[in-house]
């Protein structure tokens, strides 16, 4: 099973502490170009750094450059994570990804296309219901550049988050605590809390945390039930990619040269924005996946104990 894949490598608790520290360092190193660019642009404009708020900082750089440099830190984190898995844990990347003999790309693409179609449909529906909330933002050259950056870099960003939370930490916390529900809940809550610095929180309120934590729980359930991250990788990539290409707003984390711009006044998120995805849409998607991939033993896979495989008892792992 998925969490037990960690037993195929070196799984001492201190290795996960060391590994997490190295991954954090890699992310910070990846943020250096963005930090330098911010300071240089602020100096060039004669801005007082102490007077800049998050909104002003985000608008300092050209959107495509800002997006690329922002996503660069996630790419660096992914490289650092892969290094940690191979060198600190001596574990294969396949075993962090899935309990199957090899990664199932058909699962990745199915989840990607399914959520891409659903999320795009929601945006199109909202556009037709409230067209006054959108303005055409299309500009050929910037949009083409955005497409290149988004297609290359956003999957790296989402893959880093999935490999960190649903992969590395899910397995690490699981083998240390010998449980499945603790890593499921822990990674979901931490995943949500790391989005607390997003500008959406300031504009929409802390109720949005229900969406972020609920999404983490949804991806975690998906991973444990399917014995692999493939579905989560595809879903997460589609969610961020289609959002970046289709709609932007001045108060979101991704400010891009997208097709449309949402010019509506941000309000406290209601049922349609927060609760419907978490409590209606996500359960339906889990039901679809469960039927397609014949998921069984929900209780055992989600809250059962983590047991070291017998065949590994005498191995030096």
Per-residue pLDDT of 13-52, as tens digits, reads 999 999 999 999 999 999 999 989 988 887 777 665 544 5
Locus of tokens 């075993």: 95
Question: Which percentage of the chain shows pLDDT scores above 90?
Answer: 75
What span, in angstroms and rounded, lies between the C-alpha atoms of 277 and 80? 32
Average pLDDT of every residue of the chain: 90
**pLDDT tens digits, 224-253:** 999 999 999 999 999 999 999 999 887 777
End-to-end CA distance of the chain, in Å? 17
pTM over 0.85: yes
pLDDT for 14: 97
**Domain extent listing, the chain:** 3-307
| pLDDT on residue 47 | 61
pLDDT (tens digit, 9 = 90+) per residue, 145-195? 999 999 999 999 999 999 999 999 999 999 999 999 999 999 999 999 998
Per-residue pLDDT of 263-276, as tens digits, reads 887 765 556 778 89
């Amino acid at each position: 099973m998925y969490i037990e894949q960690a037993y195929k490598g070196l799984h001492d608790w201190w290795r996960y502490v060391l590994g997490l520290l190295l991954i954090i360092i890699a992310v910070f190193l990846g943020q250096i170009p963005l930090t330098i660019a911010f300071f240089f642009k602020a100096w060039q404009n004669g801005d007082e750094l102490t007077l800049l708020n998050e909104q002003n900082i985000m608008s300092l750089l050209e959107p495509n450059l800002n997006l690329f440099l922002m996503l660069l830190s996630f790419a660096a984190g992914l490289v650092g994570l892969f290094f940690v898995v191979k060198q600190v844990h001596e574990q294969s990347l396949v075993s962090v990804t899935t309990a199957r003999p090899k990664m199932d790309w058909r699962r990745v693409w199915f989840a990607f296309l399914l959520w891409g179609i659903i999320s795009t449909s929601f945006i199109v529906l909202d556009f037709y219901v409230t067209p006054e909330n959108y303005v055409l933002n299309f500009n050929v050259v910037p949009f083409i550049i955005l497409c290149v950056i988004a297609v290359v870099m956003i999957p790296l960003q989402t893959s880093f988050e999935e490999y960190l939370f649903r992969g590395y930490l899910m397995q690490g916390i699981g083998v240390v605590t010998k449980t499945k529900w603790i890593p499921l809940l822990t990674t979901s809550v931490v995943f949500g809390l790391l989005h607390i610095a997003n500008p959406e929180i300031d504009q929409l309120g802390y109720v949005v945390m229900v969406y972020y934590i609920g999404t983490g729980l949804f991806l975690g359930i998906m991973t444990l039930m399917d014995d692999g991250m493939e579905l989560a990788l595809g879903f997460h990539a589609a969610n961020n990619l289609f959002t970046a290409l289709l709609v932007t707003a001045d108060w979101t984390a991704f400010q891009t040269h997208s097709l449309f711009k949402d010019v509506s006044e941000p309000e406290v998120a209601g049922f349609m924005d927060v609760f419907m995805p978490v409590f209606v849409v996500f359960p339906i998607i889990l039901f679809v996946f469960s039927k397609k991939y014949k998921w069984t033993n929900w209780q055992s896979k989600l809250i059962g104990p983590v047991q070291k495989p017998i065949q590994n008892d005498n191995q030096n792992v």
